[in-house]
Chain A
């Protein structure tokens, strides 16, 4: 009887303590989860703050880039076009009417030659600002042009394939995407030491995708984010701000085979634009 009572008493104690223990465990877990999430949220806020800072840095970088572009443009016009036109002016001075016909013809010929050079120079500057192929024929042709020039050098084999580009992006979007591609290709040529570059385009679920593969040295997403937050890597910051403008995403990664690096750009597709 005593044994039975003792057994029963220990059972009820176990039951009581066990149940209390389970409830404490439950409450403890709930409290832990809530506290942990709050901590994560605080961390998240801090990250957001940092992101705002980073956006400011990107804005500064893009302003700086714009200023540099303007300076370059001003220098091109001042140092190249200016002297050429001044020289042409010299050939066409008022004394020209007093000279003999042969000299007159020679001066006119020289002036014309200089004006032709100036026209070519201004055309080059204008092409740098807005590639005519991009404006007239779209992103596919512009990238094709760019890749042909790269392949023409003989050191890097650049190829591209557009799978579905019936509906062109809006011109301003095309220009932004083209600038990103230019910057990425520039970086690949400058830093990666790769032997080939391959670009693929496709469309999937209202999103426009471009992916660049290369077999040289590259960066992964964490490197991109690190460089974006640091004071170096102006080009990457510009890529970041352009991606933001496009409301798109960019992903730097290494292929599963660990042989290639790839960069994927995702841009939301807008309503069809006909060229």
Chain B
């Protein structure tokens, strides 16, 4: 309700902030679980660039309903992080099934949520109110599935508390020629 009482000029800032918040929250989850330093640095760089772009986009562009382009970029970036997370997981974790790890369910939830709403948010500024009503429900379904999967991930976290951190090949300390 507060959102609809907000003046129309300010709404875009709320939307932009929401996109940033959502991106930051989801990214942070994968940031915690991805172990490769290089990829973590890449996530940092991508995130900084994304924030700069979002600020630039909001201050220079007027949009009818939603900040479609930043949402599209957010989705693509998060898909990349999830793909990499899966890749890293299958490379380093061999002793447990991936679906026994709680982050797997978070990742699937995010993918369904983002996949289910990607085209809708991309095209929302070109849709009629009737179409928005019709297809908006589809995003709600994706969102409900996401929430259910998030809840399931909490259950998995409780069930398998040991397997939260990805193991990596060990490094011996430097003992060379001393």
Contacts and interface: CB of A to CB of B under 8 A. Distances in A.
A15 interface: yes
A11 B126 contact: yes
Nearest to A256: B176
Interface of A: 8, 11-12, 14-16, 18-19, 22-23, 25-26, 29-30, 33-34, 36-38, 40-41, 44, 161, 163, 198, 200-202, 204-205, 209, 211, 213, 249, 251, 255, 262, 264, 266
Interface residues of B, number: 34
A177 B90 CA distance: 35
Given A26-B108, A200-B178, 20 more contacts: A8-B127, A11-B131, A12-B127, A14-B119, A14-B123, A15-B120, A15-B127, A18-B119, A19-B116, A23-B112, A26-B112, A33-B86, A200-B176, A200-B177, A202-B175, A202-B178, A205-B173, A213-B176, A251-B172, A264-B172
A33 B116 contact: no
A202 B175 CA distance: 7
Contacts of A161: 178
B77 to A, nearest CB: 15
Contact of B115 (A12, A15, A19, A33): A19
9 contacts: A14-B119, A23-B112, A23-B142, A29-B83, A41-B97, A201-B175, A202-B173, A262-B176, A264-B175
A204 B174 CA distance: 10
Contacts of A25: 115
B6 interface: no
B99 A34 contact: yes
Given A198-B177, A251-B172, A266-B172, A18 B118 contact: yes
Given A163-B178, A198-B177, A41 B94 contact: yes
B142 to A, nearest CB: 8
B135 interface: yes
Given A15-B135, A23-B115, A29 B175 contact: no
A15 B138 CA distance: 11
Nearest to A205: B173
A44 to B, nearest CB: 5
Query: What 9 A-B pairs come out closest when comparing CB atoms?
Result: A22-B115, A18-B119, A204-B173, A26-B111, A211-B175, A26-B115, A200-B175, A15-B119, A37-B98
